Structure 1
Amino acid sequence: MIVTMVDAIDRALVHALQLAGRAPYSRIGEVLGVSTQTVARRFNRLRAEAGLRVVGLPDPQLAGRSQWLLRLTATPRVAQDLAGALSRRPDTSWIKLASGGTEIVATVHSTPSDGNALLLNDIPRTSGITSVSAHYLLHQYVGGPIAWRGRANSLTAEQEAALLQTGIPRTPSPQLVDGASVKVRASDGKLLQALGEDGRASHADLAVRTGWSTATVARRLDELLRSGAIFLDTDVDPVALGFTTSAMLWLSVPPAHLDAVGRALAEHDELAFVAATTGRTNLVTQAICAGPDALHSYLTERLGAIEHITAIETAPILRTVKAASPGLVGWRV
């Protein structure tokens, strides 16, 4: 993938999509003060050159899914092959090569019915792996439905309000529909698969994929989005936004202070992911910074100033092999 650098209009477009992933090009153009054609052209260019896309995903907690972070170390050749194999599995996302290409960090989604096959069977039997650790995600402070704040700083408050004033569902916007919580059903499978490939797919295209009428698609999609049962996530290569350095940070915090530290970190624009986990370390984050100096400053000044963090392990990310979207691979950070 050829990574392009972006300008102010591109950044505003990414911000708009993060707020309202299915907003029409015409509405985004009105808010940004550019033509519909300009928005469409910019979106298509960023899609081709920076992997920009919107995907619709079920909220793991509301869908009854467990999430694990796997850390695997291996020789560089084995690690790359294994990362590629993991990326082809439907139960994985956010697969990263870290620590010079000798470490894999992957998110694995499981349900009680699948027996955690990957965790218990597949990984330990793969030759060439020197260590494996699995960390159960207990609570996410940033990530999933709670989007990264670092790329949402291009629109003014007035522009944000104008984008959302016509009833376009905010991303995310947990609400109650007809006074009851809406849950993902087995019959939503084809809809979710289509949204996982393209969260901006038209009602007509989704009707073809699901076999439903366009009216049924529109009604069900609106229910799922407004209830928070599914959310829209925006993928884009951070390098295109000027963030060239990224690292996983594995933190140790006394349990009595874990939630307070997690909430404090959730306010940091440098962090695209913050979660409490099980394991030897109990808080994990992903920092995305403008460069090595910016990461150093973040670690020593902002993170270092937070009380009760007793240890930090930093693992630089070399490449994102798989993101939230099945179609987005090959980020270089």
Structure 2
Amino acid sequence: MKSVKIDELDRLVIAALLAHPRATHAAIGQAVRSSEATVSRRLARLRRFGAVRVVGALDSQISHRARSVFVRLRCAPGAADELALPLAQWQETGSVKVLTGSVDCVAEVAYTSNEHLYALMMHRLPQFDGVMATFSNQVIRRFSTPHGWNPGLLPDTVVAELRADRRDRWSEHPEPDEAAPMSELDEQILTAVIEDGRMSWQDLAARCGVTPSTARRRTEALMAAGVLRMRTVVEPEVLGLTVNAFVWLTINPTKIGLAGEILARHRNVVMIAATTGDRNLCGEIAVASDSALYEFLSETVGHLPGLIHADVAVALRTVKRAGMIAPELRTAVAPSLP
């Protein structure tokens, strides 16, 4: 992200986008008590400098196209930085972070089959130099995701009003037994909206060779089915949340659901999911300071029902988020791995 000064109005505009990524400038203006023209200028500037972007996301679990696994790496001294970028270049990674704590790097990886995961974990990952140990936690239920993150910068009533106008699913729903069939036009729409989540109906229609009404109808059908979800992507520090961390928890199995729902409602929790492996509840948090992190751990995590063990690692660098490598790192040269 290029250097850009962020003020309170900018943060409120981003908060409105988090509540409704495709909200009109007029709706955002009403939410932040500013004019439509001002919102338009602010948002254009924020997007131009890379402070915020809006993307569409194919829900791989709802569409039955892929599963997710968190891969944690313990590395030799100095190796985490060197392997994070080539790991981010995998098309399977949605996010990659360099951490400080019990592990040195974490990545969210999408896989299409057990054979695919086997190849990634047993063949491709071991080719990285400096990996001392790996831990994997497969996602089996999502309690909250960044699609519905509310950092609490706007009043709850305003957030509810913005969310009420969303056509996509911002909260988590049970996975259907079968995936809905998708047409060639659906695939074209997905490709376009994944690149630009605020693309106009006219531009989307021109790209897909259909009328604007058809483009809107098919897009909103994909949203309603949960296949296409909208996401506002922003680094927490832009919102004044300068400490980004990951938590890996061991919860009594009878209390996982209750603990997950409690965390999902917390303003500082960006995402939380039930997983397999050595930890059964994994998530990302964002807080304003070290003291706020202490309070979150002692007052929220410490009082979770069924808590057995908690592990925390603070993020030092975001290498990849929401499928995109950080702009300042894209020109870096990294070794090519098969």
Give the TM interval when normalised to the shorter protein.
Answer: 0.7 to 0.9
Alpha-carbon shift at residue 60 of structure 1 (Å):
2.5
1:40 is paired with a residue whose SS is: helix
Name the CA shift for 1:249/1:195 in 2 (closer, same or farther; >3 Å): same
1:127 and 2:132 matched: no
Alpha-carbon shift at residue 156 of structure 1 (Å):
5.3
Q: Please give the alpha-carbon distance, in whole angstroms, between the structure 2 residues aligned to 1:220 and 1:289.
A: 38
Q: Please give the alpha-carbon distance, in whole angstroms, between the structure 1 residues aligned to 2:219 and 2:91.
A: 22
- What corresponds to 1:16 in structure 2? 16
TM-score by length of 2: 0.84
Task: Tell me whether 29-38 or 182-191 shows the greater mean CA deviation.
Answer: 182-191
Name the CA shift for 1:160/1:304 in 2 (closer, same or farther; >3 Å): closer
Say which of 159, 182, 187 aligns to 1:185.
Answer: 182
1:67 and 2:64 matched: no
Q: Percent identity?
A: 30
- What corresponds to 2:83 in structure 1? 82
Alpha-carbon shift at residue 106 of structure 1 (Å):
0.7
Alpha-carbon shift at residue 201 of structure 1 (Å):
1.1
- What corresponds to 1:217 in structure 2? 215
- What corresponds to 2:38 in structure 1? 38
- What corresponds to 1:319 in structure 2? 317
Aligned residues of 1:272 and 1:285 also touching (Cα < 8 A):
yes
Aligned residues of 1:321 and 1:329 also touching (Cα < 8 A):
no
- What corresponds to 1:207 in structure 2? 205
Q: Please give the alpha-carbon distance, in whole angstroms, between the structure 2 residues aligned to 1:251 and 1:60.
A: 24
Alpha-carbon shift at residue 97 of structure 1 (Å):
0.7
- What corresponds to 2:336 in structure 1? none
Q: Please give the alpha-carbon distance, in whole angstroms, between the structure 2 residues aligned to 1:5 and 1:76.
A: 34
Alpha-carbon shift at residue 155 of structure 1 (Å):
4.1
Alpha-carbon shift at residue 152 of structure 1 (Å):
4.1
* Alignment size in residue pairs: 322
* Alignment deviations for residues 113-147 of structure 1 (CA, whole Å, 9 cap, x no partner): 972332342112323211112110011111154x2
- What corresponds to 1:265 in structure 2? 263
Q: Please give the alpha-carbon distance, in whole angstroms, between the structure 2 residues aligned to 1:76 and 1:169.
A: 47
What 5-or-longer segments of structure 1 have no aligned partner?
176-180
- What corresponds to 2:157 in structure 1? 157
* Alignment deviations for residues 246-270 of structure 1 (CA, whole Å, 9 cap, x no partner): 2111111121221111112222212
The amino acid that maps onto 1:24 is: T
* Alignment deviations for residues 65-89 of structure 1 (CA, whole Å, 9 cap, x no partner): 2101011122355322322112222
Task: Tell me whether 6-15 or 237-246 shows the greater mean CA deviation.
Answer: 6-15
2:123 is paired with a residue whose SS is: helix
Aligned residues of 1:93 and 1:323 also touching (Cα < 8 A):
yes
- What corresponds to 1:47 in structure 2? 47
The amino acid that maps onto 2:135 is: S
TM-score by length of 1: 0.85
- What corresponds to 1:109 in structure 2? 110
Q: Please give the alpha-carbon distance, in whole angstroms, between the structure 2 residues aligned to 1:10 and 1:327.
A: 23
- What corresponds to 1:178 in structure 2? none
Alignment of 1:292-331 (within 5 A): 292-326=290-324, 328-329=326-327
What 5-or-longer segments of structure 2 have no aligned partner?
330-338
Note the aligned Cα RMSD (angstroms).
2.8
Q: Please give the alpha-carbon distance, in whole angstroms, between the structure 1 residues aligned to 2:245 and 2:252.
A: 22
